Amino acid sequence: MLKNKKMIDWNDEEIVTLIEKEWGDFEQVVHTQVGHLMPQYLKWRRRSRGTIFLTCFILSALFLGSVSENELVLMSSITLFFILFFISLVISGWVLWRWSKVSREFNKVFNPIIFEKALQILGFTGVHMTEESVTQSEIIALLDHSELITERRNRYDVDDMLSADYYGRSLFLAELAVRYVSFSGENRRTKLVFHGFFAVHDLPRSLKGKTFVTTEGDKQGFGNMSWWQWFKAKESPQETLLEWNDFENKLHVATTNEIEARYILTPDFMQELYDWWNSRGGNIRISFLDNRMYLLFPDRNVRIGSSTVSFSEKDLKHYLLTVVRPLWHLQQLMEHAEERLHRL
C-alpha cells in the first residue's frame, strides 16, 4: 500500500486509491524497461549527495578554524581548508556534471513510463512529449497568449510534457519553471516567478471575452492586472464580485464579459478550485481566452530535471502520486467547465 503520513492534499486519499487500483504489475514493468539503467542512476545519485555533504563539511570546518585565537594555527587552518575546499569544488563539479548527464539520459526512458501510466489511471488517451516535438519557444508563445504571467521573465526550464485528448479536444501539460535574471557577475539577481505545472485545454467553443481567476493575495502580475486601476477601458478586464459569499476574498475574478464569466464559473467550479488551493497554497491562476482554458498550478513537488529517489514500490508510487495529483484536479476543473460551456 502507498502510505503517506502527511497528506499534502485533501484529495490524496482518493487519488492514492486510484493508483492502488490501477497499479497491477507496474513495478515489474518499470524494472523490465529501465532495470539496465538503474545501477548507474543510483550510483551517481549517491556520489552527488556525497560530494555535497563533503563540501558542506569542509565549509563548516573552515568556519570553525577561523575562530581560533592562535594566529599561527588560524593561518595554517585557513590555508589547508582553502586548498581542500578548492579540490572538493573541482571534484564536486565533475561529479554533479556526471550525475546530471546520467540522470538526464535515464529520465528520457523512465519518465515517459510514469507519465503515461498517470494518463492511463485517469482515463486519458495521450502520450509523453519530448522537446523535439514541442519547442520551448512554442511553450513561451502559449504562456504569452494566456496572459497568466505579465511580469518580467527571461529564463525558462521545461521538463516533462503530456499531450492528451479530453472529450476529443487537445489537452497539453508541461512542467515549467520561470525566472527573471537581472544584472550579471556579483550583482546577478534571480527571481523565481513560477515553478509547477502549466496546462492548456481547448474548449468546446470560443469565448467572447477574457476571464481570469486567481487565489487570495494574488491581484497582479497577470492579465496586466497592475494597470487595471489606471486604465479602466471597456475592453480591459475588470474585477468582478461573485454572488457566492463562500469565495469572497479567497478567489478573485476579473473579466471583460461579466455575464460570460458568471456562467462559466459555477459554484462547483469555484469550490473545486478553492479546495485545491486551500489544501496546497500558492497562487493558482486560470484564464479563459478565445477557445482555451489556461492554468498555472504552482507545485514545489514538481521535479524538474530529476525523478524518483529509488525504485522501491513505495517511492515509485510516491513519484507517481506527484504526477497524478495535478492531472486529477485539472480533470475536475475541466469537467465543470465542459458542462457549462456546452450549454452557453
Would you say residue 216 lies in a domain? yes
Domain housing 320: 12-33+125-341
63 within some domain: no
Within a domain: 138:
yes
pLDDT value, residue 227: 43
Band of residue 6 on the pLDDT scale cut at 50, 70, 90: very low
Summarize the confidence of residues 59-65 as an average pLDDT: 61
Number of domains in the chain: 1
Find the angle CA(16)-CA(22)-CA(28) to the nearest 5 degrees.
105
Residues 83-139 have pLDDT tens digits of 777 777 788 888 889 988 998 899 889 999 999 999 999 999 899 987 778 888 999
The dihedral over CA atoms of 142, 146, 152, 158, expressed in degrees to the nearest 10, equals -40
Q: Is position 22 within any domain? A: yes
Instruction: Please tell me the number of Cα atoms within 13 Å of 195 on its side-chain side.
Output: 11
Higher pLDDT, 304 or 74: 304
Model pLDDT for residues 130-160, shown as the tens digit of each residue: 777 888 899 999 999 999 998 889 999 998 8
C-alpha cell at 27: 513495478
Give a yes or no: residue 333 inside a domain. Answer: yes
Cβ burial 109-144 (10 Å sphere, 16+ → b, else e): ebbbebbbbbbebbebebebbeeeebeeeebeebbe
Q: How many residues does the chain have?
A: 344
Q: Is residue 323 part of a domain?
A: yes
Which residues, including other chains, have CB under 8 Å from residue 84's CB and lie 6 or more apart?
A: 58
58 lies in some domain: no
DSSP state of 187: G
Q: Is the pTM of this model over 0.75?
A: yes
In a domain? residue 83? no
Contact yes or no for 170/125 (Cβ under 8 A): no
Handedness of CA 22, 24, 17, 300 (dihedral sign): negative
Model pLDDT, residue 336? 78
Burial degree of 243 (CB within 10 A; 0-12, 13-18, 19+): exposed
